[in-house]
Amino acid sequence: MTTTTSTTSGIAVTEAPPRFAAVLRSGRPRAVTAPARVGSATGVGMMLAGTLSVQFGSAVAALLFPRAGALGTVALRVTITAVLLFAVCRPRLRGYGRADWAVAGAYGVALGGMNILFYQAIDRIPLGPAVALEVLGPLLMSVVAARRAASLLWAGLAFAGVLLLGRDGFDRLDPAGAGFALGAGAMCAAYILLGARAGRRFPRLDGLAMAMAVAALMSLPLGIGSAGATLLEPGVLGLGLAVALLSSGLPYTLELLALRRLSAPAFAVLTGLAPAVGALAGFVVLGQELSAAQCLAVVLVVAAGAGAVRAGTPRPPRGRSARPRARPRGRGAARGA
């Protein structure tokens, strides 16, 4: 027995097989709806898991930075991730058109640019303000893409929370570092939009694997020119593998899967959770105190993320299930039969 599943406005619709349709009361297959909220909750969970993974990866990268430098760390992180994805996923390289390859290439450029610019930023300014400035790019994208007043409200709350979290270091930032962080934010916004397109065009993680290969081609020459043979030292390679898994492989995989369950504007607002998670991790793990303003900022960002997901979740019609429209009965319909 086979069933047919279709999706309408984010609601899964399952129809009975044609040979059983005659026993149904209306003569048509009945439809059973599954709320899109389940998928949204899963997407939020994936985003949170990816954010936590990045925080641990940043701690490991701090150990690698003095030995390989910013460009060397990016090169190891991206190249090792690309090799692992190709080995595990074995993406199919045939059967795609020019438009598909253009999306994969642009997705890779956004990935590579985001990593290179962000590591250049944290080489010059503290991590907290760098993350706060980077997140402004996706938040601005969510405002531009918002079509409802509620979406603008959630983006504004997240924006205010991010500024509160990073305000302590803004007054003494290096201009070049701040510029790199803002550039990374622009690349991050492009990464979200292109990641959503790649998730629709490529099965499984094939699009991500191809994009990581493009990002590796961008970053590896820069890393070799900066760190040279240091990249081949066993200790450096070991730390690079840990950074690749925690900061790229796992979070990028989770984010691509989340983009298949969340709208791009909602995903962009959820990126504001990164500095909030970092602040909470510093409080729980490192014993770093949170000021009243930082506590308020965490509440604002979390509330904005929840509101954005709720606003971006399609709802089924009230009082009735989603089912196909009946054909009009009359003379015209009888002639066409």
- Predicted confidence (pLDDT) per residue in 283-331, tens digit: 665 566 667 776 777 677 767 766 766 665 544 444 444 444 444 444 4
CA–chain centroid gap for 54, Å, is: 12
> What is the rounded distance in angstroms from the CA atom of residue 183 to the CA atom of residue 22?
60
3-state secondary structure of 23: helix
Q: What is the mean pLDDT of residues 221-234?
A: 91
Q: Where are the beta strands (DSSP E) in the chain?
A: 4-8, 11-15, 32-34
Cα 146 from Cα 154, distance rounded (Å): 10
Higher per-residue confidence, 239 vs 51: 239
With bands split at pLDDT 50, 70 and 90, how would you rate the model's confidence at 76? very high
* pLDDT value of residue 7: 40
